[in-house]
Amino acid sequence: MKYGLIGERLGHSFSKSIHEKLGYDYELREIARDGLESFMREGAFEGINVTIPYKEAVIPYLDVIDEAAREIGAVNTVVNRGGKLYGYNTDFYGMRMLFDHAEIDPKGKKAVILGSGGTSKTARAVLSSLGASEIMRVSRSGKDGAISYEELYRDHRDAEIIVNTTPLGMYPEIFGCPVDISKFEGLVGVVDAVYNPINTTLVQSARERGINAEGGLYMLVAQAIGASELFTGVKCPAYMIDVIFDAVKGEREYCAYRYALIG
């Protein structure tokens, strides 16, 4: 393939629709965990995006890693230049833009990141860059510096920002929710990296309580445009994020409406 996305399961992905609006063919390639090494070593692509669970796993196969991606510890974009693989993290840009779009300002606030994978590392970097006063990661295991959900509910009910980087609530398990936000009385902002459905159970629950909340579609579009520029060398105007976001959101809302009529 020339350009595309690799991941373990991609039935939820909107990436093909987004990238093809930028003017080139884009393929979704599901790869089993035991097939990642052969795919990366073959390098039969010009540019790929990387999603769950490979944002950290691809790093050993790269010849050059962008400094920002190295500091974050996760790669979501790989470009093949003359047989050498270059790794980047455009998720950082995407998540920064998502916070702006959602009008959520973490400066001086206590933030909690749900999850411990590659996207959680990006979330930590973004929150730090935006001036969060305290940042904690939460995982089911409570390992590698993360706290457990039991500790979160017991000791950190004063969290003001929650960022979900787990797949809980993602299609097809759309009623899943990673955390009970009713336990956090000072909560002022919720960001969910899940984008399918556009409004997850977590996002809806926050909005019902008057809390600023946004799903991951805006992040997905912004990081895709960043990746596209690396793939093609062509700079996209900033307004294209909103144009493509509105287009994809409209398509998904129409699909949901049609499903409701038929179902």
CATH number at residue 188: 3.40.50.720
pLDDT of the residue at 252: 81
Q: What is the CATH number of the domain that holds 231?
A: 3.40.50.10860
| Residues 129, 76 share a domain | no
Residue pLDDT, tens place only, 91-116: 999 999 999 999 999 999 999 999 99
| Residues 210, 103 share a domain | yes
Q: Which two tokens stand for residue 144?
A: 């590698």
Q: Which helix (DSSP H) or strand (DSSP E) does residue 190 occupy?
A: strand 189-192
Q: Which segments of the chain have a pLDDT < 50?
A: 257-263
| Residues 190, 96 share a domain | yes
Domain boundary among 217, 236, 254: 217
Return d(Cα 94, Cα 218) in angstroms, integer: 7
| Residues 63, 148 share a domain | no
| Residues 185, 225 share a domain | no
| Residues 129, 17 share a domain | no
**CB atoms < 10 A from the CB of 210, how many?**
8
pLDDT of the residue at 257: 45
Q: For residue 146, give its domain range.
A: 92-217
| Residues 182, 69 share a domain | no
Q: For the whole model, what pTM was predicted? A: 0.93
| Residues 68, 30 share a domain | yes
Active-site entry in 16, 21, 55, 249: 55
Domain boundary among 185, 202, 217: 217
| Residues 132, 85 share a domain | no
Return d(Cα 33, Cα 53) in angstroms, integer: 9
pLDDT of the residue at 260: 46
**CB atoms < 10 A from the CB of 158, how many?**
11
Q: Annotate 187-209 with b (16+ C-beta within 10 A) or e (fewer).
A: bbbbbbbbbbbbbbbbbebbeee
Return d(Cα 17, Cα 241) in angstroms, integer: 13
Residue pLDDT, tens place only, 44-60: 999 999 999 999 999 99
Which residues have C-beta within 8 Å of that of residue 65, sequence separation ≥ 6?
A: 59, 75, 86, 87
**Vertex 111 angle, CA 132 and 194, to 5°:** 115
| Residues 96, 77 share a domain | no
Which residues have C-beta within 8 Å of that of residue 140, sequence separation ≥ 6?
A: 148, 149
Catalytic residue flag (residue 55): yes
| Residues 66, 10 share a domain | yes
Total of domains in the chain: 2
pLDDT of the residue at 145: 84
pLDDT of the residue at 89: 98
pLDDT of the residue at 15: 96
pLDDT of the residue at 142: 74
| Residues 225, 204 share a domain | no
What mean pLDDT value characterizes the chain? 94
pLDDT of the residue at 141: 80
Q: What are phi and psi of 157, to 5 degrees?
A: -75, -5
DSSP three-state, residue 76: coil
